[in-house]
Amino acid sequence: MSGTHLSRRSVEQLLQGMDRGEFSGAELTEACVARVREADAALQAFVEVFDEPVAASSGGRLSGIPYATKANIAVVGRELTCCSRILKGYVSPFDATVTARLREAGATLLGVTNMDEFAMGSSTENSHGGPSRNPWHADAVPGGSSGGSAAAVAAGMVPFALGSDTGGSVRQPAAFCGVVGLKPTYGRVSRFGLVAFASSLDQVGPLTRNVRDAALVYSALAGHDPRDATTMDRPVGDVLAEIEGGPAGLRVGIPRALVSEGVDADVRADFEATCEQLRKAGAQLVDVDLPAAKAAVATYYVLCTAEASSNLARYDGIRYGHRAQAQDGAQEQSLVDMTCATRTEGFGAEVKRRIVLGTFVLSAEYAEAYYNKASQVRTLLRREFDAAFETCDVIATPTSPTPAFLRGEKAADPLAMYLGDVYTVSANLTGLPALSVPTACNEAGLPLAIHLTAPAMQEGILLRAGRAVEHVRGFDEDRWTLMEKSS
């Protein structure tokens, strides 16, 4: 049994291997930990690898499968930092519902992955613990904010990982690292125990090596939770049952105006190639119009900062983590001074920028012009998507207008970083389910990906379309050969 061999298999293949008695869950965990030790010094995908992996009862549908979780998802008795200095030393007194569900499903938690502080960013460069790297290219970012989770799955350290997605943080790093990323319909997966960034947009989702695995992990995560009043009390359905439905008869909507401008040439050519191959395989390509999507990035950055400024008000130096010490040997400090010093020391630059922006857009003088206006655009956008879905089953765009960029390339230019979210934020603003599927690599050896959005609660058709993309592009089979060539 070779560790490298195991680290390339999908969740489904690993479950079959254990069923056949080829290896045990304990051996698999050992192989993954060995792979982390070998690869993570260079990648920094993990912020913590547990000495004792958190194993669970056996017999569940993910029995014996190792995974990693993002640093903003609560695990009882473990540090929960969101890769922020302000939460240093804060230990979670409870499990997030997703953590508990994976425990019940029998998965083994190996450790915690790196992320942009409080999930604010697209490159994992905003982590208090330092950046992660892209396994395909030493100088490229892995994307963000779930960059550590994406790098860990891509590099064969774990067969799947959890991420959170507020504006693309599961799907964009998945695209940059050549893995699959799913953001479920808002309300499908519980947010209980996910540290809130923007509560009306946040959703937990899996990063996996293929679409079938995304379906498998999603099935373990999804469902009503009395601890999150925004979860839906509706049957999740068997998404694996329809996943092999294939491209024939699938109506794929393409918002032409959105995909023709400001897109990297390789990304655009690859997107056209995927659509064309889907068409040849029997799918029908339909033009759709989403005029409000042009305003989606602006809308998103008004709403997410507004919600963040309110959600992050709780980090006051009293209840959680870091507290600033009194200055110059003083015995005491006032509450205001202490809170102010704690927040000044504890938050990084991007988080402060968002708190300031969010406070501004909510202020009495400006709420009408910004927050209220953005809320209206959000409604408009949802209506446009609903109308588009009258003529198609899924809507396709690239996941990101560029492949993974170089470290430092956008770090000094927040607007350039924000504009990269153009294709992902609409799914959060509308609540719709969306999926990123890798398609190929460009000449520099960087992965490219397609992004699919489906009507609310139609994860079944979304995953079927994603599986169809795998069929026509074959990246799923080629991944490891391509990766060896590029590194």
* Amino acid at position 371, single letter: Y
Enter the tokens of residue 26.
């304990």
Using CB under 6 A, which of the segments 164-172, 233-241, 264-272, 316-324 binds ligand GLN? Answer: 164-172
* Residue ranges in 188-217 that form contacts with ligand GLN under rule CB under 6 A: 197
Q: How far is the CB of 310 from ligand GLN (least distance, A)?
A: 15
Sheet strands (E) in 283-392: 284-287
**CA 41/CA 158 separation, integer angstroms:** 15
* Assigned token pair, 472: 């026509």
| Residue of 145, 146, 400, 436 marked catalytic | 145
Q: Residue 131, interface with ligand GLN (CB under 6 A)? A: no
301 near 424, Cβ under 8 Å? no
Nearest to 467 by CA among 244, 182, 206: 244
Q: Is 169 a catalytic residue?
A: yes
The residue from 111, 135, 156, 168 that contacts ligand GLN (CB under 6 A) is 168
Q: Which residue is nearest to ligand GLN (CB)?
A: 169
134 vs 256: CA distance, rounded Å: 30
Q: Does position 17 bind ligand GLN by CB under 6 A?
A: no
- Is 219 among the residues known to form the active site? no
Point out which span in 33-41, 116-124, 355-363, 370-378 binds ligand GLN (CB under 6 A): 116-124
* Interface size with ligand GLN, residues (CB under 6 A): 13
Rounded to whole angstroms, the Cα distance separating 75 from 58 reads 19
Q: Given candidates 39, 120, 153, 283, which one binds ligand GLN under the rule CB under 6 A?
A: 120
| One-letter amino acid of 306 | A
Whole-number Å distance between alpha carbons of 130 and 83: 9
The reply to whether 121 sits near ligand GLN by the rule CB under 6 A is yes
Give the Cα separation of 72 and 198 in Å (integer): 13
Binding status of residue 167 toward ligand GLN by CB under 6 A: yes
Query: Per-residue string for binding with ligand GLN, 304-343, x by CB under 6 A?
Result: x---------------------------------------
Of the candidates 165, 213, 225, 470, which one interacts with ligand GLN according to CB under 6 A? 165
Whole-number Å distance between alpha carbons of 241 and 222: 16
Give the residue among 179, 147, 140 at the shortest CA–CA distance from 164. Answer: 147
Q: Verify binding: residue 421, ligand GLN, rule CB under 6 A.
A: yes
Interacting residue with ligand GLN among 134, 166, 339, 436 (CB under 6 A): 166
To the query of whether residue 145 is one of the catalytic residues in this protein, the response is yes
CB-based burial label for 200 (10 Å; 0-12, 13-18, 19+): middle
Phi first, then psi, for residue 94 (nearest 5°) are: -150, 165
* Residues numbered 449-478 forming contacts with ligand GLN, rule: CB under 6 A: none
113 contributes a contact to ligand GLN by CB under 6 A: no
Contact predicate 82/148, CB 8 Å: no
What positions carry a catalytic annotation? 70, 145, 169
Residues lying near ligand GLN in the complex (CB under 6 A): 119-122, 145, 165-169, 197, 304, 421
